[in-house]
Chain A
Amino acid sequence: GESVGLHLPTLSVQEGDNSIINCAYSNSASDYFIWYKQESGKGPQFIIDIRSNMDKRQGQRVTVLLNKTVKHLSLQIAATQPGDSAVYFCAGANTGFQKLVFGTGTRLLVSP
């Protein structure tokens, strides 16, 4: 079956640094890729998504890069803040978005 998300378990950064969280996927049939943020004790929260026909998408302080050649997805967070500390998941979705396959997550720790 499809698998998404060969994450590093933990990423530690200093406040103000840029963070890069990486994700690899195995199924080329995914039509969308999505990044979620999960804070302690809460459900995942949508950050940004990207369609498979794009290679870059920018949001507010976040950028998602998609490299289909090597099946790699990354989330870049600019000027990381303590409030960015959370677990970040990538997920792949089929065209109809019925099924979502999540990666195992990367914990981002931001120190002042």
Chain B
Amino acid sequence: EAQVTQNPRYLITVTGKKLTVTCSQNMNHEYMSWYRQDPGLGLRQIYYSMNVEVTDKGDVPEGYKVSRKEKRNFPLILESPSPNQTSLYFCASRVGPSGANVLTFGAGSRLTVL
């Protein structure tokens, strides 16, 4: 089944403890992106990647890092999480610039930073 898989789905952590949310897609998509969803604010883009080793900032990149060493994986790294990063995170992918403009989203990762 074509899908975007995120792990963990739920995580409670403490301020300053580094964590990584993994994202993997099995559709050979070039483009991948991370969003956070907060009440009243909708989804906001954190980082995106046009292809392997090509990443760029979205609208709210502060406090996050990403890497794209392989086409299928796009992990989101929080080096020193803070309570304001408590949110619901979504990873998404699509074919690429010339492909259909259809983003496939993962099921989400709910992160709580205490």
Contacts and interface: CB of A to CB of B under 8 A. Distances in A.
Interface of A: 1, 5, 32, 34, 41-46, 49, 89, 91, 93, 96-105
A34 B101 contact: yes
A5 B97 contact: no
Nearest to B103: A46
Contacts of B45: 99-101
Nearest to A100: B45
B44 A102 contact: yes
A30 to B, nearest CB: 12
B103 A104 contact: no
Contacts of A91: 43
Given A43-B90, A43-B108, A44-B90, A100 B42 contact: no
A44 B102 CA distance: 11
Secondary structure of the B contact surface, majority rule: strand
12 contacts: A32-B101, A41-B108, A43-B4, A43-B92, A44-B43, A44-B103, A89-B42, A96-B97, A97-B31, A97-B97, A104-B40, A104-B42
Contact of A98 (B40, B43, B50): B50
A32 B90 CA distance: 21
A43 B92 CA distance: 9
Nearest to A4: B42
B12 interface: no
A28 B33 CA distance: 23
Contacts of B58: 99
Contacts of B43: 44, 89, 91, 100, 102
A1 B58 CA distance: 12
Contacts of B94: 97
B53 interface: no
Nearest to B41: A104
